[in-house]
Amino acid sequence: MAAFLQWRRFNFFDKEVVKDPETSQTYDKLKDINISASVSGRGQLIFGDHDGYLHMLNRELQINSFKAYEIRVSHLFQMKQHNLLISIGEDEQGVNPLIKVWNLEKMEKGIPNCTRISRAIPANKPTPVTCLAAHECLNWMAVGFENGSVIVLKGDITKDRHSKSKVVYENSKPITGLAMKTSGKNIILFVTTGGSVISINISAKQEQKTTLEDFGCCSSCSVMTDHTQDNQLVIGRQDAVYFYQPDGRGPCLAFEGEKLQLHWFRGYLIVVGKENKGLPRAPILGGQTLEMNIVSVYDIQNKFIAYTAPYADVISILCEWGSVYILSGDRKLYHLQEKDTQTKLEMLFKKNNYTLAISLAKSQQYDQDGLIDIFKQYGDHLYGKGDHDGAIDQYIKTIGKLEASYVIRKFLDAQRIHNLTKYLQALHKAQQATEEHTTLLLNCYTKLKDVNKLDEFIMTKDREVDFDVETAMKVCRQAGYHKHALFLAEKHQKHEWYLRIQLEDNKDYQKALEYIGKLEFDEAEENLKKYGKMLISEVPQQTTELLKRLCTDYRPIDRPLIDQVNLDGGIPRIQKASAEEFIHIFVSNSPRLTEFLEHMIKVQPNSPSLLYNTLLELYLHDIVHEKDISAKTDKVRKTEDLLKNPEAKYDLDQALVLCQMNNFKAGILYLYEKAHLYQQILRYHMEHDDYVYVIDTCKKFGAQDSNLWVQALSYFARKEENCKPQLMDVLAHIDKKNLLPPLLVIQTLAHNSTATLSVVKDYIIRRLQLENDQITEDERLIKQYREDTEKKRAQIEELKTTAKIFQAAKCSICNHPLELPSVQSFPSTGTKIFQAAKCAFHPLELPSVHFLFRVSKIFQAAKCSICNHPLELPSVHFLCEPHSFHQHCFESYAENDSECPVCAAENRKIMDIIRAQEQSKDLHEFFHNQLERSQDGFSVVADYFGRGVFNKVTLITDSPTRQRTGSRTSSRLP
């Protein structure tokens, strides 16, 4: 039995006899043609005959024939990428082959243009041509001869002028086949004879010949494959079909039997072989018997026979228009049409030949969805047969297209955990797995207790992650595989998961703390806030040390102290957390909190007030509960140092409350003094009846708050025991500072039964003497003010009724002589400008007389009151002294036009006193009203004393005349 029969046979081609489209009868227009050569390509079938004609058959089966040679056509070659036909034939008797190149695109009267005619004679030795080949680049053409020679024509094959021929091979046996192939930059020529297969690099400067085989093939038994088989040379022999590359032989397929022709069509190898059966030859050809040939179509890639059938004496096989045309010896033209891919697949499905179907679909570039459907059907077929291992292999190929639940449900029902595990692994590898798939796979591992597989899936360091990490950690943790969960958490930097497993499952607090110390700043801060309370409870000292680093200058513990930034001369970035955010985690460990806070305020004195407040509270708490005297003394010292530290930023009010709650006397008194709460210091000593400290407080802070002595007097006055020394001391200071009226002092002491007259005798006598002296002084001032008032009234009357002589010759500001015109000002009438330059008879000179409302005013001042220079006109005179000024001096120094610059300061002081008296009048009324409504009149009086309302206001003037308000008169005289 022939070896090729081991390949499976299919009928993937439909055979039919070509019909004449005009008559619908069998096409018979080729029956009278004695065909000598044939070729196809560029949309037509071309036949050459023994009469020298070329017959071109188009798709509509119309024939165009023309005379190409005088005797016969022996060889035809159709270019695939160019519409050129190369023919070899004979125009003369004898051996004289001619090469003609026809341009099929340029036709004249149905005849293509012949672009080249050249003789095919090797080394001037006439011999018949056996084969022909040309390269698609149109620069190479090869001709083989019966004497074993091969010539290569280099140059444009369409023209004879620049073409050069060269014999590249010589042999004793006839050349049976030629083929060309491009290999990189080289042009390879395959040559076959009856006894060898040779490859020649014809593009090299020196032809490089390589003998590929020591046996050859017959004529028409060699062909070139297409790119699907890497453009190999195929030869057919009795025993097999051989494939060749330029450097050696390739695969070999054992197809036994005599081969007559080899053809290539779309990945198929078409072999025409002999069969022993005979048929009577058509009568028109002389009644001879025709040999039966077997036409077989082999799918080389998929290893099956796509078609086989007998034909009578096959003359030619042509491939065109996507089909195969077979011309048989009875001159019938047969058409082989390949079935479509879906039809072929259905045929394979019916025979359950899914493996071949898959291979066929791939070779036909079947779309991915179609392939997935084949894999699914194949998988279902195998699953139905019970071949679960084979079925899962097919289902794995559907990943990404077929819904995974379809497969998972099948194998869950069949309880085939091993197969399901394999599918889930492939699902993860294809990165198509969801969280549920990861969970299911890990559950399969744990159920099978396959730790090795679990290690391979999770703990392989260089393995690409193809699953959801958090899901894997969750499943491993639930199944008790904490080691695997920790590995994943650490590898993928799932810090929260790592810490949860270490703290909640493994209870390994030390490793958890070490892991936090290796994290970046943000992660370390976040996790210490989250787990700090637990860690302080279990590993307090180590946690405290880590917190110190975190809140000062943090860097991961595994990072070098000097990194690349330091080496490059850059300033390292300091990262530190807010210490106040970690106070709450020390809730169960006060000593560690104290240590932490002491460290923070030592390295960062500008720490927030919360740290100082908390540390103070801890100190006070320890003082209260400390039993050891020595330790308690030490804690008191530390507390006082903290309070008195000038850099400490504790909140004063909160610190005071803490000291009061813990009855820390030293702290209370220090904070009172720091806050200037002297009344509270005094009250504190009064509450504890510390007489000495009461007096000392008044002496120490009496200058800042004089009411302390008043409070002390009231305090000692309420005491029934003998406080005479203290009262005497207090009264002495009250008397010295005049803090209280004597009446109030006596009323205050009246409540004390131990306060005798001897206590206040000296005080009363001194106060009465002072009052008498004050009364005497007041009477003197009253008399003085009355006299000044009368003088002022007389002066005002004089100004209103009599003339004022201005005889100053100089300005009162610049002291230069005054010149006319001059300006005089009066308070009731405003400024009067006198610019008369002459008397009734003569020019005016100073002194001069001016009349205002029928009253004459004489201005005879000679100097300016400012500069003390002789007056020159214009000048300004004021009625207050009088004062006289140059006009330019007055304008430079006066603040307004109606006020004397010399008297302005004194006048302003008097006006301020008047306004203060008016305000005090209203204040006194308000004081009396408030005193009447208040239940504690003493506190109201003390408040007003503190505000200085009752302080005496005394006006002391050098001259009563300075209290006058000036008036001015201006005149302008030449």
Q: What are the structure tokens assigned to 921, written together? A: 């009048």
Is the pLDDT confidence value at 838 over 50?
A: no
Mean of the pLDDT values across residues 651-666? 88
Read off the DSSP letter of residue 19. B
Cβ–Cβ < 8 Å for 145, 132: no
Which one, of 397, 386, 451, 402, lies nearest residue 422 by Cα? Answer: 397
Cβ–Cβ < 8 Å for 72, 87: no
pLDDT tier at 127, thresholds 50, 70, 90: very high
| pTM score | 0.53
Q: How many CA atoms lie within 13 A of 441 on its CB side?
A: 29
Query: Tens digit of pLDDT for each residue in 366-401?
Result: 777 778 888 888 888 888 888 888 888 888 888 888
Is the four-CA dihedral 906, 907, 911, 912 of positive or negative sign?
A: negative
Higher pLDDT among residues 116 and 838, named by residue? 116
Is the pLDDT confidence value at 692 over 50?
A: yes
Is the pLDDT confidence value at 211 over 70?
A: yes
Query: Tens digit of pLDDT for each residue in 773-818?
Result: 889 999 999 999 999 999 989 888 888 887 766 666 676 677 777 6
Lowest mean pLDDT among 89-103, 497-511, 753-767: 753-767
pLDDT of residue 272: 95
Query: Tens digit of pLDDT for each residue in 839-869?
Result: 433 454 555 554 443 334 455 566 766 677 7
Is the pLDDT confidence value at 301 over 80?
A: yes
Is the pLDDT confidence value at 164 over 70?
A: yes
Helix axes 451-458, 417-429, angle to 10 degrees: 10
Percent share of the chain, pLDDT over 90: 26
For the chain, the straight-line distance linking the first and the last C-alpha, in angstroms and rounded, comes to 159
- Rounded to the nearest integer, the mean pLDDT of the chain is 81
Element (H, E) at 325: strand 323-327
Cβ–Cβ < 8 Å for 152, 134: no
pLDDT of residue 825: 45
Kindly report the length of the chain.
974
Residue 604 sits at φ, ψ, to 5 deg, of: -135, 80
Element (H, E) at 859: strand 855-859
pLDDT of residue 960: 37
pLDDT of residue 465: 61
Question: Three-state secondary structure along 811-857?
Answer: EECCCCEEECCEEEEECCCEEEEECCCECCCCECCCCEEEEECCEEE
- For residues 235 and 244, give the distance between their C-alpha atoms in angstroms, rounded to a whole number: 8
Mean of the pLDDT values across residues 24-47? 92
Is the pLDDT confidence value at 646 over 70?
A: yes
Cα 266 to chain centroid distance, Å, stands at: 54
- For residues 515 and 951, give the distance between their C-alpha atoms in angstroms, rounded to a whole number: 75
- For residues 848 and 873, give the distance between their C-alpha atoms in angstroms, rounded to a whole number: 12
pLDDT of residue 736: 75
Find tokens 């022999």 and name the residue: 237
pLDDT of residue 906: 79
Residue 496 sits at φ, ψ, to 5 deg, of: -60, -40
Best-predicted range by mean pLDDT (275-289, 715-729, 886-900): 886-900
pLDDT of residue 451: 77
pLDDT tier at 270, thresholds 50, 70, 90: very high
pLDDT of residue 681: 86
Mean of the pLDDT values across residues 724-730? 75
pLDDT of residue 759: 62
